[in-house]
């Protein structure tokens, strides 16, 4: 039973492991294609934040070095969270949960497109898949915390009476 549980966690985490591996291989000097994809999305996000809160976020051109660090941080979060999650750690699941909660609304910004556009449908499907992963991680954390922990107390042997 423990092996099946391990295998299930390994299959679930393979999404994160393969994603981190691909991003790491394409990382390069400038952050790779992920930096080029993320740059306009961060610009749109900074405009939304400025419009809603009045807080000015620095432009991405000034944050190129930080963009590379953000991508590296995402790779590390996926790799570390996956490694811990495979061995049943709820801390690993929490790391993956944090990554999904931060990255999904930024990467899959379907809300910036009209509902009849092709991009809207593609991004919305990816966003809902990301929410499914988020829900599975929440379920794992909830189940992990709801199970009673085994006590490690040694049982004292009863004295024999003849």
pLDDT tens digits along 94-127: 999 999 998 898 888 888 889 999 999 999 999 9
Which residue, 131, 111, 129, 130, is CA-closest to 120? 111
Taking the whole predicted model, whether its pTM rises above 0.75 is answered as yes
Q: What pLDDT score was predicted for residue 100? A: 93
Distance, CA of 126 to CA of 23 (rounded, Å) = 18
Residue 97 CA, chain-centre distance (Å), reads 5
> Which residues are within 8 A (CB) of 79 and not within 5 positions of it... i.e. 6 or more apart?
16, 17, 20
Provide the Cα torsion 4, 10, 14, 17; round to 10°: 180
Provide the Cα torsion 130, 132, 134, 137; round to 10°: -140
Distance, CA of 107 to CA of 94 (rounded, Å) = 20
Lowest mean pLDDT among 8-17, 46-55, 58-67, 136-145: 58-67
Neighbours of 67 (CB within 10 A): 19
């Amino acid at each position: 039973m423990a092996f099946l549980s391990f295998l299930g966690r390994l299959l679930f985490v393979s999404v994160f492991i393969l994603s981190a591996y691909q991003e790491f291989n394409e990382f390069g000097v400038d952050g790779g294609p992920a930096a080029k994809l993320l740059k306009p999305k961060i610009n749109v996000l900074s405009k939304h934040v400025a419009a809603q809160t009045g807080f000015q976020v620095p432009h991405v051109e000034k944050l190129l070095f930080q963009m590379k660090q953000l991508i590296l941080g995402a790779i590390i979060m996926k790799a570390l969270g996956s490694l811990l999650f495979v061995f049943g750690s709820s801390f690993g699941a929490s790391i993956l949960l944090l990554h999904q909660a931060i990255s999904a609304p930024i990467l899959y910004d379907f809300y910036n497109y009209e509902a009849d556009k092709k991009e809207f449908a593609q991004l919305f499907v990816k966003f809902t898949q990301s929410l499914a992963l988020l829900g599975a991680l929440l379920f794992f954390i909830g189940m992990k915390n709801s199970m009673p922990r085994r006590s490690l107390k040694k049982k004292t042997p009863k004295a024999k009476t003849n």
